[in-house]
Structure 1
């Protein structure tokens, strides 16, 4: 791999290669969600990666797969050299391949949230594709864009094959709290309802303070923030399905429109209407250019 950091962003995917001699503020970020899917390939460091209440201890040549419904965050156990590759992509950019009798997004979509996120790249086959993609990104010639897309599709086929064959060793390296996972499952199943700390405490027969403590400890984010994250992510999907802003507010039980508007803008950075118009125009552009 090249010695210098590298970043690529085109109409198909976003590639970010980063190596740090020490952990910087750039490497640290809060628990978050995003619209796109993510491939996180770990090369070096001492990192525990939290995904929806699961804590994955990472070792060299480990791949994490995350869809746009899974909250995640890396925790750096030591301030030592850190190296990783990330690929972000929107699921709809692969719609042109839907006619094939193979689902390129199988490993992202046909599994329980925060389950089987980790694949160990024993023979470095996955890494070889990452390396080739970055090499073509540097060439920037007439064929590089096509080669990057072709390699990425091949990479997803390989990942799905590894995923299907269950070539992973998660059982030995996942830390979890059963009660915590039950709470997360409950929130995700009832996200369209009005959920509060009081209602969760009553449902699980737990003291509110204790519930808040164990949730923050295992999820890396407060329970109220988690609920808001999940509601906003659901709101994004409903907005892209051409529901009006007021309909989305009602379906997700935000209480009133002003609460929905403020929460959405705080997490996303723009208003629900602006998000709907912006994302719709991006999707139309993608379809038009296929």
Structure 2
């Protein structure tokens, strides 16, 4: 079974829902939409296309994996450069009222909304890990919206909250790279370092040299904290990142190289053991189709 997540494009530029709306669009030609503003926030995860967006008089040309946020009241419009190239993107609308509800829970939910409005900055490049992490949460939310599972509405709220938190955390940590490392315990420093260097050598010797402690102390601390070995933890983190990347456009034959697996056979065995399905079958099962 393939999830067909695509939404038929409509020129409507206003929200029907009073909370959020989320769409996956894949089109060759977009009917003309003149310069306009919204009363809602528009998050925009760019996947593919030869386009630019003029936002508040400035022309932005995103590259695949870029995140944009257009706050309420900011004029913008699309510029198509090549109608033969598929134009793919996730569009995530959040109403101003819903944003205020989230702000009442925590200002963390609206960090990026406030930053974009105050600084007139609307485009935020993402690296491949950041992009796949956000894309995974986006696809998961769309799949839940189209499901008939028990507790659907409750789960949708949790997924919306998680998606927004991940977006805000990603951009915040881009702006505050040193804050993340301040006053961390050894265990937290290990987790942080591993997350940032999954594609590299993560042997005990390397970790010990980077953190200036013995490899035996690292192994002991990690086992005490979560009950599994550091090797098992690193493998699970790498597999999780590979799983997220497979939900995007990364081929099975390349994904394992991005996150520290040295050969396909070891990646295949580990992935199937962890998730009960081969990487190829997993990708086919969850591929975003554009037809």
TM-score, normalised relative to structure 1:
0.51
Task: Find 1:58's aligned residue among 62, 74, 92.
Answer: 62
Q: Which of structures 1 and 2 has the bigger CA Rg?
A: 2
- Shift of residue 142 of structure 1? 3.8
Match of 1:107 in 2: 112
CA gap of 1:24–1:94, structure 2 versus 1, over 3 A, is closer
Q: Secondary structure at the match of 1:15?
A: strand
Q: What is the aligned partner in structure 2 of residue 86 from structure 1?
A: 91
Q: Distance in 1 between matches of 2:75 and 2:101?
A: 28
Distance 2:93 2:113 in 1: 13
* Residue 133 (structure 2) pairs with residue 128 (structure 1): no
CA shift, 1:69, in A, is 2.4
* C-alpha distance in structure 2 between counterparts of 1:107 and 1:96, whole Å: 16
Cα contact 1:133–1:152 (8 A) shared by 2: yes
Q: Specify every segment of 5 or more residues in structure 1 that has no aligned partner in the other structure, as ranges.
A: 168-290
Deviation of the 1:97 alpha carbon: 3.6
Counterpart selection for 2:24 from 17, 21, 32: 17
Q: Does 1:118 align with 2:127?
A: no
Partner of 1:252: none
Q: Deviations over 1:42-101 (max 9, x none)?
A: 111111111112222112122111110211112111011111111112122144443445
Name the TM-score, length of structure 2 as normaliser.
0.51
Gaps of 5+ in 2: 9-14, 176-291
RMSD: 2.5
Q: Which residue in the other structure is 1:179 paired with?
A: none
Q: Provide, for residues 228-269 of structure 1, a one-character-per-residue CA deviation record: whole Å limited to 9, x for no partner.
A: xxxxxxxxxxxxxxxxxxxxxxxxxxxxxxxxxxxxxxxxxx
CA contact (8 A) 1:43 1:84 kept: yes
- 1:146-161 maps to which residues of 2 (within 5 A)? 146-161=154-169
| Shift, 1:141, TM fit | 3.6
- Residue 170 of structure 2 aligns with which residue? 162
How much has 1:128 moved relative to structure 2?
Answer: 0.7
Report how many residues are paired.
164
**In structure 2, what is the Cα distance between the partners aligned to 1:142 and 1:11?**
23
Q: Deviations over 1:193-228 (max 9, x none)?
A: xxxxxxxxxxxxxxxxxxxxxxxxxxxxxxxxxxxx
Q: Counterpart in 1 of 2:6?
A: 5
CA distance in 1, matches of 2:110, 2:37: 18
